[in-house]
Amino acid sequence: MSDNIHEGHRGRLKREFLNGTFSDDTPDYKWLEILLFFSIPQKDTNPIAHELINKFGSLSGVLEAPVEEIKSVKGISDNTATLLKLIIPIARKYELQKSRSLFEYSDREHIEQYILKQFFGLEKERIGVLLLNQIGKVIDFRFLGEGDFCEVGVSTREIVKFVLDKNAQSIIIAHNHPKNYALPSADDIAATESLVNTLARLNIRVIDHVIISGNDYVSLAQSRKYSYIFD
């Protein structure tokens, strides 16, 4: 492809994007093709985009792939792999900043969506604590542990310090299953019961434990099977 044809194609694709004609129906390779313009200035990025999709199955598969596997595709440099791995963390930062406002606890859907956004794009298991004040407004959220909930757990001392520092009245525990379903295991339930009982003796109320997998989640407090834990 000559430089003029190459530049003309890039210009057309950029105008197509800026004019708003890209949509959810736009093929995955076209999103990648235009993104790769900014790290591969001298090559036709169309075949590289196709190769990435062929290897990883989808746009999301590309963005979630390990760096070394991305770099195994011909034409992908360190800079390009870095650009691709930046997309999810930047999207996560955007979502968190957009949602950083206080809302009433009675609006349960917003609370749950707020928690989901904290875990967006995370590839490792993490344990988070959401703090609420006396009228049920969100005060803060913080990750206090990494790893399997029932194996690593969250230090009660850390939770108590977090609650006292922020003058919170109650908390919601959340953890993710990045490579599994959002269903709780028997160990998850046992660990939750232990944590709720321990914190109750310290006058810290645990309102819920939310388990997350991608965009799916399970609220133990809203489950008929496990709601007894929080009574």
Both tokens assigned to 161: 């310090």
pLDDT tens sequence across 149-160? 766 557 888 888
Segment among 50-54, 75-79, 138-142, 154-158 with least mean pLDDT: 154-158
Give the sheet arrangement for strand 170-176, strand by strand: 138-146, 126-132, 170-176, 205-213, 216-219
**H or E element at residue 142:** strand 138-146
d(CA 183, CA 193): 16
- Side-chain-side CA neighbours of 175 within 13 Å: the count stands at 25
d(CA 212, CA 26): 29
Q: In 3D, which of 129, 131, 160 has the Cα closest to residue 145?
A: 129
Confidence of residue 96 (pLDDT cuts 50, 70, 90): confident
d(CA 57, CA 198): 46
Query: What value does the mean pLDDT of the chain take?
Result: 86
Whole-prediction pTM: 0.65
Both tokens assigned to 89: 């963390």
Which domains does the chain possess?
3-96 (1.10.150), 104-230 (3.40.140.10)
Confidence of residue 1 (pLDDT cuts 50, 70, 90): very low
Both tokens assigned to 53: 């999709």
Q: Report the 10 Å Cβ neighbour count for 120.
A: 18
Confidence of residue 42 (pLDDT cuts 50, 70, 90): confident
Segment among 98-112, 137-151, 203-217 with least mean pLDDT: 98-112
CB 223 within 8 A of CB 189: no
d(CA 131, CA 140): 5
Has residue 12 got a pLDDT over 80?
yes
